[in-house]
Amino acid sequence: MNILAPSILSADFKNLGNQIRDCQNSGAHYIHIDVMDGVFVPSISFGLPVIRSIRDASDLIFDVHLMITDPIRYIKDFAAAGADIITFHQEAAPDPMAVIDLIHSCGKKAGISIKPGTGLDTLEPYLNIVDMILIMSVEPGFGGQKYIPSSTDKIRTLRNHLNSLNRSSLDIEVDGGIKADNVDIVLNAGANVIVAGSAIFNGDISSNIRDFLNKMM
Ligand code: DX5
Ligand code: ZN
């Protein structure tokens, strides 16, 4: 099934609870939550108190994307704060397997992500154990960037490889520069979880979500 995950990085934070409810009422499936530490990526976004605070604004799945160094330090905290899926960066974790195990031991789904310059081969040891793979289609750190076209081949190669491993049900999420008018490209390549920030929160949330869902379902 194709899943739409609005990224609240582009939300209006003074109105965050209402905007999350708009996402849910308009048919979005997940809420994508970008946590940035100013070290792994240049920006600082928001963290645990915000997640705790918005947890009761929605019963959608909280899809937490950790752009933080040495994420194992904070997995239990994000699980307790209300994350349902916790995705970390392969590049940021000295021992990715230990991070995946800890996420699972907290009863949460584990995702692993790579930046545009990181090869798919780095994911090989984890393909049989993770619940989702997040392919970054921009350099992580900022919303509103342009989709990097070489991401399409990366997604297609990964999807073909997963099929050959009998892992065709594994979710591939794509994040960065996705709009209603290029979402078909990443879906055709084999992604099924679509993150969109600026394309959903700039303008009218429900009509933006409707445009996405029309192209996705
Ligand atoms: C970027 C974040 C994205 C960001 C996407 O580092 O991981 O989730 O919010 O924003 P758009 O959809 O505007 O490219
Ligand atoms: Zn993200």
Kindly list the catalytic residues: 34, 175
pLDDT digits (tens, 9 = 90+) for 46-74: 999 999 999 999 999 999 999 999 999 99
- Please report the pLDDT score of residue 210 as a whole number: 98
- Please report the pLDDT score of residue 80 as a whole number: 98
Mutate to test the pocket of ligand 1, among 32, 66, 138, 179 (most ligand atoms within 8 A of CB): 138
- Please report the pLDDT score of residue 43 as a whole number: 98
Closest CA to 175 of 154, 205, 157: 154
Separation in Å, CA 20 to CA 15, 56, 103, 139, 187: 9, 10, 25, 25, 24
Q: How sure is the predictor about 42, in pLDDT bands with cuts at 50, 70 and 90? A: very high
Q: How sure is the predictor about 194, in pLDDT bands with cuts at 50, 70 and 90? A: very high
Asked if residue 109 lies in contact with residue 103, where contact means CB atoms within 8 angstroms, the answer is yes
Q: How sure is the predictor about 193, in pLDDT bands with cuts at 50, 70 and 90? A: very high
Ligand 2 centroid to Cα of residue 63, in Å, is: 9
- Please report the pLDDT score of residue 109 as a whole number: 98
- Please report the pLDDT score of residue 28 as a whole number: 98
- Please report the pLDDT score of residue 103 as a whole number: 99
pLDDT digits (tens, 9 = 90+) for 155-165: 999 999 999 99
- Please report the pLDDT score of residue 63 as a whole number: 99
- Please report the pLDDT score of residue 85 as a whole number: 99
**What are 88's two structure tokens?**
């970390």
Site residues for ligand 1, CB cut-off 6 Å:
7, 9-10, 32, 34, 65, 138, 140-141, 143-145, 175-178, 195-199
Strand order in the sheet with 109-114: 3-6, 193-196, 171-175, 132-136, 109-114, 85-89, 61-67, 30-36
Ligand 2 centroid to Cα of residue 162, in Å, is: 22
How does the average pLDDT of the chain come out, rounded? Answer: 98
Ligand nearest to the CA of 200: 1
Mutate to test the pocket of ligand 1, among 30, 34, 132, 202 (most ligand atoms within 8 A of CB): 34
Nearest ligand 1 atom to alpha carbon 179:
12
- For Cα atoms 178, 194, 57, give the angle at the middle one, nearest 5 degrees: 110
Residue having the nearest C-alpha atom to atom 4 of ligand 1: 143
- The share of the chain scoring above pLDDT 90, in percent, equals 99
Ligand 1 centroid to Cα of residue 72, in Å, is: 23
Question: Which amino acid, 203?
Answer: G
Ligand nearest to the CA of 198: 1
pLDDT digits (tens, 9 = 90+) for 78-137: 999 999 999 999 999 999 999 999 999 999 999 999 999 999 999 999 999 999 999 999
- R_g (Cα) of the chain, nearest Å: 16
DSSP state letter for 169: T
